[in-house]
Amino acid sequence: MTPAADSTEKRLSFHELAERELNDAARYYERESPGLGADFIDEVERCTASITRHPIAGAIVHDDVRRRLVRRFPYALLYRTVSDTIRILAVMDLRRRPAYWVGRT
């Protein structure tokens, strides 16, 4: 099997609202159970590492926006690839209204 065309690692950036969502969720989980916030961050980091290695592996959810699920937590990372950068648009709580993030760039 030949290597996938998406296997070159790309730079990663977070939309400021996605970064806020990440931090808010981590604080929430840490309040619920000490150490759980760090576990959440670890899972998000694992997910972003996978995204940077294989950016087209995520399911397309809207135009060129893709989604990858975060293990152990009801969250997904929504992202777009532009040139050599992957832009995380939302750290989406899957229990929220689904299209709240549309319009972020």
pTM: 0.84
In this predicted structure, what is the pLDDT of residue 25? 97
Q: Assign residue 83 a region (left: φ > 0; alpha: ψ between -120 and 50; beta: otherwise).
A: left
pLDDT at 5 over 60: no
pLDDT at 2 over 90: no
Q: What domains lie within the chain, and their CATH numbers?
A: 11-93 (3.30.2310.20)
Average pLDDT, integer, range 29-39: 98
pLDDT at 43 over 90: yes
